[in-house]
Chains A and B, each alone.
Chain A
Amino acid sequence: MTKFAIKYALTFLLLIPAQAIVFNHMILFNVALPLVFLYLIIILPITLGTNISMLLSFLAGAVLDVFCDTPGVNALCCTLVSFARKPLFHLYVSMDEDLAGFSPSSRTMGHAAYMKFMSTVVVLYLSLMFTIEAFQFFSFKLLVLRIIASSAYTFILLYALDCLSLRPRRA
């Protein structure tokens, strides 16, 4: 667990500035925004208490809000997604399995289940975020386009990140 905590802290310190400085500026066609920092919510162990996982997710969202001048937007979405994370996970993985120290990834869950879980989290997060933002300028067509394009873009980058983190190690 200590090893995971150190690894998670390092990922946090790397991904939040990377999201603010790099990924927030990689917008495609003015609609597709990649939110790679969602990896921080996805990889939290399923057996970790919901309270701790919500606090960690809230912290990630709040820090990103400071960087992006979007007070409360990411913090609220992170809290909501983190709250719904465990039930979403059990849509694709049986309750009966031994989940001690289980951190969702394509290796632990299998490709198909992980892709479904990841895409559900991504679509839920982006739908919430763009709906909150749509209170200012509402355009249903633009809202749907932004959710679909950003979800696809984020999904590809998150899958690439997962593959990178699971590089085969030499014996």
Chain B
Amino acid sequence: MALDSSDVAKIAHLARLDVKHDALDHFIAELSNILDLVEQMRSIDTSGVEPMAHPLHMAQRLRPDRVTETNQRERFQQRAPQTEDGLYLVPRVVE
């Protein structure tokens, strides 16, 4: 499975990774090799096989809809790169 530089640039954009132009070649070769490994999956016919989403086939557990967590905004925001008045700061989004 050979990817080209526009494929890798698109994947990097979708993944929100800033991959510089000169690093693209490296990723093209490595990702293509990994996809070649993955291609081995095609050797087995899986038509009609149920996909396995959970190793123990457990159903998602539900809980009553009530408040169980207390608000710890200040504590958690201490880990943030930039906050103001209890809000996370990012560059201006709307002009």
- The answer to whether A and B interact is no
